[in-house]
Amino acid sequence: MATVTEAPPLAPEQPKPPRKRGRWTPYWLLLPGILWLLIFFAMPMIYQASTSVQTGSLEEGYKVTWHFATYWDALSEYYPQFLRSVLYAGSATILCLLLGYPLAYLIAFRAGRWRNLIMILVIAPFFTSFLIRTLAWKTILADGGPVVGALNTLHVLDVTTWLGMTEGDRVLATPLAVVCGLTYNFLPFMVLPLYTSLERIDPRLHEAANDLYAKPTTVFRRVTFPLSMPGVVSGTLLTFIPAAGDYVNADLLGSTDTRMVGNVIQTQFLRILDYPTAAALSFILMAAILVMVTVYIRRSGTEDLV
């Protein structure tokens, strides 16, 4: 009688190694952004750096002669405009913070069903041209208008004149008008980061502080404000940086005595046609803002933002 032998068991199939064809996908996704930065940021920066060390004229042409003295000449001649830009931008940033923080706090914790409507009202000015909004302030601050009349009645202009921000009974063509225009135009850049930061705060932290019988001022000082510091830093940077380089508000709402460095750069580029000086002023402004921002971030203890 023949014996039946059992067949040997089949060996388990070995798992196939994963394919590596997707390892280049992240780099392909980054390629459009990298090309955009190279074409519209890196190349213009390199061109402007080359322009800043050139000498010559528009008729004879400009040549790269590595004339770094242009930087010192530009800084020594236009340092008042640099200081004025920092002062106006800093004042507008502080005003935006003082006005924007209560508004962002209201939207985050007290608005309720009106939150979306208030957010739309904050963003609505962006649907209007920056130039038109600034021109509107010429009408608001016009001599003999209701705003100037109310300020005169309250004797506010007496105080601002003593501080050197206005001249007599008028607001237009004064530092106050420029700061007001900067504050209005860049206020949404302060409110939105503050709202985002405040909205992320866990409400249970406020409840715990109230259960420990903390006063509202103590809760704000020890809980709310420290947790909202990322929004404060982001908002101040988003406000100060464009305000320091702005020239529209100083041009439309100010005078020759309120010119900022942005006005000087615009004049050098488009009217005087002194391209090396304009490029040198641009790089000095960028370097100054970069140093101030770095110091500010390190002092505020939010190095993770950079």
Q: pLDDT per residue over 113-132, tens digit each?
A: 899 999 999 999 888 899 99
Spatial neighbors of 189 by CB under 8 A, at least 6 apart, are: 96, 235, 238, 239, 242
Beta bridge partners of 167: 170
User: Does 30 map to a domain?
Assistant: no
Q: What CATH number has the domain bearing residue 119?
A: 1.10.3720.10
User: Does 182 map to a domain?
Assistant: yes
Domain count, the chain: 1
96, 187 contact by CB (below 8 A): yes
User: Does 86 map to a domain?
Assistant: yes
- Give the integer Cα–Cα distance in Å for 190 and 167: 29
**215 has a pLDDT exceeding 60:** yes
- Give the integer Cα–Cα distance in Å for 120 and 123: 5
Beta bridge partners of 64: 54
Structural domain including 76 reads 71-305
User: Which tens digit of pLDDT belongs to each residue from 255-296?
Assistant: 889 999 999 999 999 998 899 999 999 999 999 999 998 888
Confidence of residue 306 (pLDDT cuts 50, 70, 90): very low
User: Which tens digit of pLDDT belongs to each residue from 151-173?
Assistant: 888 888 888 887 788 887 888 99
User: Does 144 map to a domain?
Assistant: yes
- Give the integer Cα–Cα distance in Å for 29 and 19: 19
* Residue 295: alpha-carbon gap to chain centroid: 16
Who has greater pLDDT, 5 or 71? 71
